[in-house]
């Protein structure tokens, strides 16, 4: 018997039309294929107590993993922040040196460094 | 409270909401793992891993798919990883779980036939490669669209379509001579 591929073609194209229903009425092969391929199952019923226990256990198991996960993401965040800040500072310093070289002594860091140095100096002098 | 509200609360680390969500989806995940592994004990272990992963990564759930789809995707990854490790996958097929399975809109006699068909199909699927087995299971047992399967498996829709097509062809070939006796 030559096999009919009408149903197969229709489901592969995700088509469910009147044409298919009409075809299914007349074609035994496609009816058989349909009953073989479609399983409208309800999942296996597990006892409620079992599921509740399993979920509780999952929470207990997840706790240390989550803590470790949070710890590592904090570490990664801090590391990325440090790298970014050092990249920015280095590039500013390079820019600063270039400015100093080309414009003679004008420092970008002066507004920040002068007060800091003066505080340090005062403290050292006071001692 | 509906699923969406529960998901929103769960994403804000509400343990109760997440617990309700996981409890209501446990059987779906377990059923899926069971069909993949054909072994209740291994399926239970893998389902537990899915639950743990879902708890840890709940804040990564974007909400652009159903929660069950997200869990199924996690389950698929865990199953694939287990296969790679190939440690716990040396398992014996145990079809006793099929007896506990009920079928919708089906008489007792039809359910018996369907159970028998399902056993045959699952047995044949188990002999196939994962890339053929998983899309077929998702399509024919869970009714996912090709688009959803493509998202779950992270492959193009065309690939999903061709894999399912090949699986059906292989199943038909495997059952040649037996196909029409089974039904």
Q: Provide the chain A residues 28-67 that lie in CB contact (below 8 A) with chain B.
A: 29, 32, 35-46, 51-52, 54-59, 61-62, 65-66
Q: What is the pLDDT of residues B34-71, one digit of tens each?
A: 888 888 888 899 999 999 999 999 988 888 888 989 99
The better pLDDT of the pair B67, B100 is held by: B67
**CB contact A15 to B (< 8 Å):** no
Q: Where are the domains of chain B?
A: 3-85, 105-182
Residue to test with chain A: of B55, B109, B113, most A Cβ within 10 A: B55
CB contact under 8 A, A36 and B102: no
Q: What are the CA-CA distances from residue B16 to residues A80, B7, B12, B22 (Å)?
A: 34, 11, 11, 10
CB contact under 8 A, B26 and A32: no
- pLDDT more than 90, % of chain A: 24
Q: What is the pLDDT of residues A8-58, one digit of tens each?
A: 777 666 666 677 777 777 777 677 666 666 655 555 677 888 889 999 999
Count of beta carbons in the 10 Å neighbourhood of residue B85: 9
pLDDT confidence band for A6 (50 / 70 / 90):
confident
Chain B residues touching chain A at CB-CB below 8 Å: 15, 19, 22-23, 26-28, 30-31, 34, 44, 47-48, 51-52, 55-56, 97, 100-106, 113-114, 117-118, 121, 140-141, 145-146, 161, 164-165, 168, 172, 179-180, 182-183
Architecture of the structural domain at B105-182: Orthogonal Bundle (1.10)
Q: CA of A49: which chain B residue's CA is closest?
A: B23
CB contact under 8 A, B179 and A36: yes
SS3 A8: helix
Lowest-confidence pick of A80-84, B49-53, B128-132 = B128-132
What average pLDDT does this structure show over B103-112? 63
Q: Where are the beta strands (DSSP E) in chain B?
A: 102-103
Q: Please list every residue in chain A whose beta carbon sits closer than 8 Å to the beta carbon of residue B94.
A: none
Phi-psi region of B8 (alpha: psi -120 to 50; beta: other; left: phi over 0): alpha
Which sign, positive or negative, has the C-alpha torsion B70, B71, B72, B74? positive
Fold of B3-85: Rna Polymerase Sigma Factor; Chain: A (1.10.1740)
Question: Which residue, A70, A69, A58, is CA-closest to B15?
Answer: A58
Tell me if domain B3-85 and domain B105-182 are identical in fold. no
CA angle centred on A13, ends A11 and A18, rounded to 5°: 65
Q: What is the DSSP letter of A41?
A: E
The answer to whether the beta carbons of residues B33 and B46 sit under 8 Å apart is yes
Number of Cα atoms under 13 Å in the Cβ half of residue B145: 8
Cα of A26 vs its chain's centroid, Å: 51
């Amino acid at each position: 018997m030559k096999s009919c591929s009408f149903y197969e073609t229709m489901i592969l194209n995700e088509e469910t039309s009147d044409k298919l229903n009409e075809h299914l009425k007349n074609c035994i092969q496609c009816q058989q294929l349909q009953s073989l391929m479609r399983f409208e199952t309800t999942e296996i019923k597990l006892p409620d107590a079992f599921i509740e226990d399993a979920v509780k256990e999952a929470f207990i198991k997840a706790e240390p993993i989550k803590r470790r996960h949070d710890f590592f993401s904090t570490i990664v965040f801090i590391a990325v922040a440090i790298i970014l800040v050092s990249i920015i500072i280095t590039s500013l310093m390079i820019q600063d040196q270039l400015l100093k070289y080309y414009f003679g002594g004008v420092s970008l860091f002066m507004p920040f460094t002068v007060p800091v140095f003066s505080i340090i100096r005062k403290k050292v002098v006071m001692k | 409270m509906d699923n969406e509200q529960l998901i929103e609360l769960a994403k804000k680390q509400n343990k109760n909401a997440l617990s309700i969500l996981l409890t209501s989806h446990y059987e779906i995940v377990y059923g899926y793992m069971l069909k993949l592994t054909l072994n209740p004990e291994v399926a239970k272990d893998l389902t537990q891993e899915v639950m743990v992963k879902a708890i840890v990564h709940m804040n990564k759930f974007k909400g652009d798919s159903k929660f069950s789809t997200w869990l199924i995707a996690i389950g698929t990854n865990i199953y694939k990883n287990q296969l790679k490790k190939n440690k716990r996958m040396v398992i014996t097929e145990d079809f006793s779980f099929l007896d506990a399975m009920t079928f919708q809109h089906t008489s007792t006699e039809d359910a018996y036939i369907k159970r028998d068909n399902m056993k045959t199909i699952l047995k044949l699927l188990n002999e196939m490669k994962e890339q053929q087995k998983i899309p077929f299971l998702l399509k024919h047992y869970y009714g996912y669209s090709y688009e959803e399967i493509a998202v779950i498996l992270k492959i193009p829709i065309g690939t999903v379509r061709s894999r399912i097509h090949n699986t059906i062809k292989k199943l038909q070939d495997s059952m040649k001579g037996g196909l029409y006796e089974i039904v």
